[in-house]
Amino acid sequence: MTTKEILHTTDDKMKKAFESVIRDFSEIRTGRASPTLVEGIFVDYYGTPTLLKQLASISAPDAHLLVIQPWDASAIPEIEKAIMKSNLGINPSNDGKVIRLSVPQLSKDRRQELAKVIHKMSEEGRISLRTIRRDAKEHLEKLEKDKVISEDDKFRGLDELQKNVDKYILKVDELLKNKEKEILEF
């Protein structure tokens, strides 16, 4: 394996780690209705755990309302059960055809709790990026020790690796800053 291949593989892993942070952040409720709040909920649909977004169309007609329209109306009770179990803190109501979720405003204390949660998530993302860097660094050092690459190639690879890590950590920090602003504004 060459330095270039290691860096390419490492970049792919870092991209996936960053996308994981984005996904985690999208599931945090900000007091504004967003379909991403419920898309990832699994519903027991005829004995099979199925994502809600595969069972229904989800829309946000206004800032405090989510409307879930199942393609199979018989799934409404199971969807409601799954929403109740999801710890969103929102009670669903239905009219036999659609489920409505009224998203309440968050209290100041809850907003601060959520800010702590996203800080923890972003730190986990940074740790993940650093772990990927450490593994790639060890791989590069092993290649140099085995005389597959030169010392110069190793140092160039390590420089490139550090630039990549810094780039993704900056992205995570930017994401954190935006999400925190979104959560803390009233």
Task: Enter the pTM of the model.
Answer: 0.70
Given a cut of 70, is residue 186 above it in pLDDT? no
Same topology, domains 3-26+107-184 and 36-102? Answer is: no
List the CATH code of the domain at 3-26+107-184: 1.10.132.20
Contact 172/129 with Cβ under 8 angstroms? yes
Count of alpha carbons within 13 angstroms of residue 156, beta-carbon side? 8
CB within 8 Å of 8: residues ≥ 6 apart? none
Q: Give the integer Cα–Cα distance in Å for 160 and 110.
A: 41
Domain ranges of the chain: 3-26+107-184, 36-102
- The DSSP letter of residue 28 is S
Indicate the range of 55-59, 92-96, 103-107, 120-124 predicted with least confidence: 103-107
Closest CA to 128 of 22, 40, 29: 22
Q: Which amino acid is at 139?
A: H
Indicate the range of 24-28, 37-41, 142-146, 161-165 predicted with least confidence: 24-28
Q: Give the integer Cα–Cα distance in Å for 34 and 40.
A: 12
Per-residue pLDDT band for 34 (boundaries 50, 70, 90) equals confident
- Percent of the chain predicted with pLDDT > 70: 97
Per-residue pLDDT band for 108 (boundaries 50, 70, 90) equals confident
Contact 35/83 with Cβ under 8 angstroms? no
Average model confidence (pLDDT) across the chain: 89
Query: pLDDT tens, 45-102?
Result: 998 999 998 999 999 898 888 999 999 989 999 999 998 888 677 889 999 899 999 8
65 sits in which H/E element: strand 65-70
Q: Where is mean pLDDT largest: 30-39, 90-99, 134-143?
A: 134-143
Q: What share of the chain is helix, strand, coil (3-state, %, to 5)?
A: 65, 15, 20
Domain 36-102 has CATH 3.30.1360.40: yes
